[in-house]
Amino acid sequence: MSFGTILTMAGGLGLFLFGMELMSDSIEKVAGARLRRILEIFTTNRFMGMIVGIIFTGIIQSSSACTVMVVSFVNSGLMNLYQAAGVILGANIGTTITSQLVSFNLSKIAPLILLVGVVVMMFTKKEKVRKVAEVVVGFGILFVGLSTMSQAMANMKNEPQVVNLLMSLKNPFLATLMGFALTAIIQSSSVTVSIVLLLANQDLLPLPITLYIILGCNIGACATAMLASMTGKKDAKRAALIHLLFNIIGTVIIYIALFVAGDQIVELIKSISADNGRFVANAHTLIKIAQVIMLFPFTGWLVKMTYLIVPGEDQKVGYRESYQLKYIGDKVVFNPATAVVEVIKELERMASLAEENLNRAMNALITLDEEDIEEVYEVEKNINFLNHAITDYLVKINQTTLPIEDLNSLGALFHVVNDIERIGDHAENVADAARQRKEEGVSISKEAQKELGDMLEMVNKIIRYAVEMFAKSDESHMQEIVTLEDQVDEKERELQKKHVERLTKGECSPEAGMIFSDIVSGLERVADHATNIAFAITTEEDAEDGDIKR
């Protein structure tokens, strides 16, 4: 084979890989957050999960990306293994859409597609439009690469050594091994199948042997998810294993079918295919559909098999666990498309700790329980740890290719971390006041205790609503939060006035009055921080909306 042919082939492959990567990444940036929400909402049962997996993978053109996202969801506890199994099976069908697109030879209009994408990118400043244009550019580059590879393969037909080598590939096991190795290296079954499709189109590969190469590609596609799960929890490893087991068992079944009725299967696929390229694309799709139909009823067994291969359970990190991250960090499968969701879960946990600590401190203020006071200080250290760890993680993910919607919310997340940490600081201030009361023998009247309890109840309510609104993007309590914040402000003014009256009448000591005044002011600030958390991720459109007044 001439050096020029090799160079052309390599260049075409490079363009194809770059186009595929650009298109997949750009789609994730434009629609990643919405697609992720679809994964969260519509995977309540295995069948719906499978349908979502097909659609999701068909859109982002990568079963590996879909499977890695599912692995990260399982790792973070956002999806269970039975839900994941359905999505993974669907992803195996969705990935065949790429080979179907490639089989429709769009190489002639690829330069025009590329030009349209580049022109839009040059003359628009809107980030979302630019990312959509990048999808179009990636699509165009992909087909330019295909055209280049096809030309190189046409030249190969004039090389007897190459033709004889490829046509002599008749051993099914070697063909499967070749497909597996190529896909594991390239980390994309779609790319490998597309190369097989082009070789078949140029009559450089016998059609029966392409079926075995496709089977190898399917197993090789599991490499990405397996590698991603290595640093994850046991459930993440099990999710990746579901993908691997499905493809290994499915390959064995198809192997048996080809051994028993290989000629008939080849003829059947030929009968619905216009040319050799369409044969490979249709074979890829039919193999996947057949595997899913046969194994879907047994997905529960697949999940149970993963528990046999990866036995035991991870040590659970409770939400009260000190100096440990639960949803993010080194022991979590990192995926840019799910990183922000995991941060929000960690922030929700941190907010629960802060609210609980505030109530513990307020209780200690009345009971003067030394254990409660010490516990407040210990939990505050943990909250400070989470503050630094989450902030560092946000800095880290800010340097990755996040979906646009997630990238826009990063600034708000930095503020939320700070607001939760400030709530924790106010709990510590209350503990300081409790210790002062205990050491100096300062008494607080029953009336003052009741007033503080009433205000704390209002503050607890606004914190709960705020965290729910932030964590779930649920705006059903928005107006209540606004109303509660106004009520807390009014309550603070009312209690400060009553406190002055008691001081004037000599009904409380100056020391008690100072403690009471500081705590009332602190609770009002806690309500402000909670309100900041609630409105942290509202869009500019919400802020401009006249229905909600803050």
To 10 degrees, the CA torsion angle through 89, 92, 97, 99?
-160
Specify the pLDDT at position 383: 93
Q: What is the pLDDT, as a whole number, of residue 378?
A: 92
- Cβ distance 79 to 67 under 8 Å? no
Which DSSP symbol is given to 99? Answer: H
Residue 500 Cα to chain centre, angstroms = 53
Paired tokens of 30: 């434009």
How do residues 174-224 score in pLDDT, each as one tens digit?
889 988 988 888 777 888 888 888 888 888 888 889 999 999 998 988 887
Would you state the pLDDT for residue 293? 93
**pLDDT at site 234:** 82
pLDDT at 317: 57
Dihedral sign (CA 141, 145, 148, 151): negative
CA pair distance 38, 341, nearest whole angstrom: 13
**CB-based burial, 207-230: b 16+ in 10 Å, e otherwise:** bbbbbbbbbbbbbbbbbbbbebbe
Closest CA to 290 of 257, 242, 243: 257
d(CA 41, CA 55): 14
| Spatial CA neighbour of 271 closest among 261, 282, 260, 255 | 282
Residue reference for tokens 């697949």: 302
Helices assigned H by DSSP within 76-126: 81-94, 96-103, 110-123
- Stretches where the chain sits below pLDDT 50 are 539-550
What Å distances lie between residue 469 and 172, 220, 344, 346, 474, CA to CA? 56, 42, 11, 15, 5
Answer for the pair 147, 19: CB distance below 8 angstroms, yes or no: no
Residue-wise pLDDT tens digits, 50-105: 888 888 788 776 777 777 778 777 776 777 888 888 888 988 888 888 788 877 77
The residues, ordered by sequence, that sit 6+ positions from 35 with a Cβ below 8 Å of its Cβ are 28, 56, 59, 60, 337
Q: CB within 8 A of 46, min separation 6: which ones?
A: 82, 83, 85, 86, 89, 296, 299
The b/e string for 363-398 (b: 16+ C-beta within 10 A; e otherwise) is bbbeebeeebbebbeebbebbeebbebbeebbeebe
The token pair at 57 is 């993978």
| Separation in Å, CA 30 to CA 129, 135, 404, 445, 488 | 9, 9, 6, 59, 41
Predicted pLDDT of residue 160: 67
Determine the pLDDT at residue 162: 62
- What pLDDT does 159 receive? 66
Token pair of 256 as six digits:
């048996």
- Distance of alpha carbon 103 from alpha carbon 497, whole angstroms: 79
Burial of 443 per CB tally in 10 Å (0-12, 13-18, 19+): exposed
User: Under DSSP, is residue 36 helix (H, G, I), strand (E, B) or coil?
Assistant: helix
Q: Could you give the 3-state DSSP secondary structure of residue 270?
A: helix
CA atoms within 13 A on the CB side of 232: 28
